[in-house]
């Protein structure tokens, strides 16, 4: 055997082995990106957070503003929703003709506009010790009895502070108010089932979502479904049918949670979600709640610049997040490819080592073609998959539409984080270029192999090398 023939054979071995090594490495990186239970819990929590956030916005925007109190402390409200009130603004600080500013409508800072001949609704509230009651009553405040006010404390309110916030929500809590709590958390059951493949886990977390044991015995499936639907009966103006359906997919989870006990997986997920809500999710604290005193808090509407911005947010297909590279199914495929390529790589190494040891470079063409034929399945598959994901997700034009939404600090921060996650490109670009390099190297090994097995081409090769 000539020197150039031997050199050609060694080149085939090196190029082929290198192509397999590159593919092996990138598949390992893809699998490592999403393989642990924590990764799966994190993903389910985030998709549930989106579902919960939409539900919170729907409920908040269809709450009625606190208007006044009767002498006995009975509250009255304005019979209008956030969308209708937002339409009364010319811009952030001005009202349309025949309307006057009466406070801050929402967390974005839009002005609350009320007809000129109608008194302003409540725009300032305080709960203070009875020793300072005279001070508040002399400062344009009124007082009425309020349920759950602590002993020696008194409730004061006014509608004459035009820089004060309108009131859409009042709560009493010893903890710092949060956007998402165990009480309003909606688990995305569809996402869970797509990842874990069954609903046994879902049936085990009734207690976690606050369904008491007695409720399990007294409520049938229809009762639960009716209770859930009533929450969403008024959202048709804000969200189209598909959006309501998406929210109800999460809500229907309650029907699945009535029959069974905890298992270890449920306990781990419960602990994970509780920690995320209470500790780890730093942006979950609702900074827009105003402390009134005595552990009472109030908040106006969750703010958007315009109704158009509300519609953009509520109608955006956040399921694009499920397509971020790699998906969990993609990670499983990477593991399968990883095992397969590792086996082939070891087989090739043994095969080449045997040939080198015997100083025999007479390759069996069927062995090489057989091995390379299977090589191209994961190589081309992940090249096409990563390239497609890059253009459909990372470079998606729909993200530009989402980015154009103007809202309050919390919503905009959520949008920016969502877009940043969708546009993270390091792994997907590495997969594109490394799989391409691997394919090119493997193709070169086949070219050298063809030269080696074709006498005429081998002679030409020897002549010029």
Query: How many angstroms separate the CA atoms of 343 and 259, rounded?
Result: 45
Task: Evaluate if residue 365 carries a pLDDT over 70.
Answer: no
pLDDT at 367: 63
Considering the domain architecture, whether residues 190 and 242 belong to the same structural domain is answered as yes
pLDDT at 218: 38
Q: What average pLDDT score do residues 156-181 get?
A: 91
Average per-residue pLDDT for the chain: 80
425: in domain: yes
Task: Evaluate if residue 312 carries a pLDDT over 90.
Answer: yes
Considering the domain architecture, whether residues 7 and 71 belong to the same structural domain is answered as no
Task: Evaluate if residue 383 carries a pLDDT over 90.
Answer: yes
Over the stretch 53-68, which tens digit does the pLDDT of each residue have? Answer: 999 999 999 999 999 9
Task: Name the least confident of 85-94, 176-185, 330-339, 346-355.
Answer: 346-355
pLDDT at 201: 53
Q: What average pLDDT score do residues 380-407 get?
A: 94
Considering the domain architecture, whether residues 122 and 25 belong to the same structural domain is answered as no
pLDDT at 225: 29
103: in domain: yes
Query: Could you give the percent of the chain with pLDDT greater than 90?
Result: 50
Considering the domain architecture, whether residues 71 and 163 belong to the same structural domain is answered as yes
Task: Evaluate if residue 244 carries a pLDDT over 60.
Answer: no
Residue that is written with structure tokens 């004061």 in the block: 156
161 closest CA partner among 346, 296, 290, 31: 290
pLDDT confidence tier of residue 245, bands split at 50, 70 and 90? very low
Residue 146 belongs to domain spanning: 66-167
Considering the domain architecture, whether residues 276 and 337 belong to the same structural domain is answered as no
Task: Name the least confident of 69-83, 222-236, 373-387.
Answer: 222-236
Considering the domain architecture, whether residues 330 and 458 belong to the same structural domain is answered as yes
Task: Evaluate if residue 243 carries a pLDDT over 50.
Answer: no
Task: Evaluate if residue 43 carries a pLDDT over 80.
Answer: yes
pLDDT at 246: 43
Chain-centroid distance of CA 279 in Å reads 18
Over the stretch 408-439, which tens digit does the pLDDT of each residue have? Answer: 999 999 999 999 999 999 999 999 999 999 99
Considering the domain architecture, whether residues 219 and 366 belong to the same structural domain is answered as no
Considering the domain architecture, whether residues 75 and 131 belong to the same structural domain is answered as yes
434: in domain: yes
Number of neighbouring beta carbons within 10 Å of residue 453: 14
299: in domain: no
Higher pLDDT, 3 or 77: 77
Q: What average pLDDT score do residues 268-281 get?
A: 84
Task: Evaluate if residue 258 carries a pLDDT over 50.
Answer: no
Task: Name the least confident of 258-272, 298-312, 321-335, 366-380.
Answer: 258-272
262: in domain: yes
Task: Evaluate if residue 464 carries a pLDDT over 80.
Answer: no
Task: Evaluate if residue 2 carries a pLDDT over 80.
Answer: no
Query: How many angstroms separate the CA atoms of 382 and 341, rounded?
Result: 13
Considering the domain architecture, whether residues 391 and 452 belong to the same structural domain is answered as yes
Over the stretch 323-350, which tens digit does the pLDDT of each residue have? Answer: 999 998 899 999 998 888 888 777 767 7
Q: What average pLDDT score do residues 219-243 get?
A: 33
Considering the domain architecture, whether residues 136 and 193 belong to the same structural domain is answered as no
Take residue 258 and report the two structure tokens written for it. Answer: 């009535």
282: in domain: yes
pTM for the structure as a whole: 0.78
Under a CB-based contact definition with an 8 Å cutoff, are residues 284 and 46 in contact? no
Convert 202-260 into a string of H (helix), E (strand) and C (coil).
HHCCCCCCCCCHHHHHHCCHHHHHHHHHHHCCCCCCCCCHHHHHHHHHHHHHHHHHCCC
- Consecutive H or E run containing 75: strand 75-77
Higher pLDDT, 221 or 423: 423
Task: Evaluate if residue 240 carries a pLDDT over 80.
Answer: no
**Count of domains observed in the chain:** 3
pLDDT confidence tier of residue 355, bands split at 50, 70 and 90? low
Considering the domain architecture, whether residues 348 and 460 belong to the same structural domain is answered as yes
315: in domain: no
Of 233, 259, 287, the residue that ends a domain is 287
Of 234, 269, 287, the residue that ends a domain is 287
Of 231, 259, 287, the residue that ends a domain is 287
Task: Evaluate if residue 374 carries a pLDDT over 60.
Answer: yes
Burial class (CB within 10 angstroms; exposed 0-12, middle 13-18, buried 19+) of 264: exposed
Considering the domain architecture, whether residues 447 and 370 belong to the same structural domain is answered as yes
pLDDT at 224: 33
User: Which long-range CB contacts under 8 A does 269-272 form with residues at least 24 apart?
Assistant: 269/41, 269/44, 269/201, 269/205, 269/208, 270/205, 270/208, 272/38, 272/41, 272/45
309: in domain: no
């Amino acid at each position: 055997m000539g020197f150039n023939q031997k050199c050609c054979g060694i080149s085939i071995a090196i190029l082929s082995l290198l192509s397999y090594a590159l593919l092996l490495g990138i598949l390992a990186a893809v699998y490592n990106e999403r393989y642990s239970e924590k990764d799966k819990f994190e993903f389910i929590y985030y998709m549930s957070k989106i579902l919960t956030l939409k539900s919170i916005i729907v409920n908040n925007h269809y709450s009625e503003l606190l208007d006044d109190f009767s002498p006995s402390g009975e509250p009255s409200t304005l019979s209008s929703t956030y969308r209708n009130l937002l339409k009364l603004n010319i811009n952030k600080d001005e009202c349309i003709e025949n309307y006057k500013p009466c406070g801050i409508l929402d967390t974005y800072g839009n002005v609350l506009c009320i007809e000129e001949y109608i008194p302003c609704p409540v725009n300032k509230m305080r709960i203070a010790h009875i020793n300072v009651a005279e001070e508040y009553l002399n400062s344009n405040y009124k007082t009425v009895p309020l349920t759950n006010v602590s002993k020696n404390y008194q409730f004061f309110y006014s509608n004459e502070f035009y820089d004060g916030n309108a009131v859409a929500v009042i709560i009493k809590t010893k903890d710092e108010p949060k956007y998402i709590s165990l009480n309003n958390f909606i688990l995305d059951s569809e996402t869970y089932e797509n990842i874990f493949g069954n609903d046994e886990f879902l049936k085990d977390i009734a207690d976690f979502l606050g369904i008491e044991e007695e409720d399990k015995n007294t409520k049938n499936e229809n009762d639960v479904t009716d209770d859930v639907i009533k929450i969403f009966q008024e959202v048709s103006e804000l969200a189209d049918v598909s959006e309501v359906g998406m929210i109800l997919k999460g809500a229907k989870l309650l029907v699945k949670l009535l029959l069974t006990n905890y298992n270890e997986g449920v306990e781990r997920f419960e602990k994970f979600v509780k920690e995320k809500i209470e500790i780890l999710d730093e942006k979950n604290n609702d900074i827009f709640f105003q402390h009134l005193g005595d552990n009472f808090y109030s908040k106006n509407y969750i703010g958007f610049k315009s109704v158009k911005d509300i519609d953009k947010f509520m109608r955006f297909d956040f399921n694009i997040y499920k397509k971020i590279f790699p998906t969990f199914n993609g990670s499983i495929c990477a593991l399968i490819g990883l095992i397969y390529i590792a086996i082939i790589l070891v087989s090739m190494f043994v095969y080449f080592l045997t040939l080198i040891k015997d100083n025999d470079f007479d390759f069996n063409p069927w062995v090489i073609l057989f091995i390379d034929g299977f090589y191209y399945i994961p190589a081309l598959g992940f090249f096409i998959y990563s390239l497609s994901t890059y253009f459909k997700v990372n470079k998606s034009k729909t993200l530009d539409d989402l980015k154009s939404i103007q809202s309050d600090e919390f919503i905009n921060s959520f949008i920016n984080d969502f877009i940043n996650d969708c546009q993270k490109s390091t792994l997907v670009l590495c997969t594109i270029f490394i799989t391409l390099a691997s394919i090119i190297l493997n193709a070169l090994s086949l070219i050298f192999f063809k030269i080696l097995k074709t006498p005429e081409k081998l002679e030409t090769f020897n002549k010029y090398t």
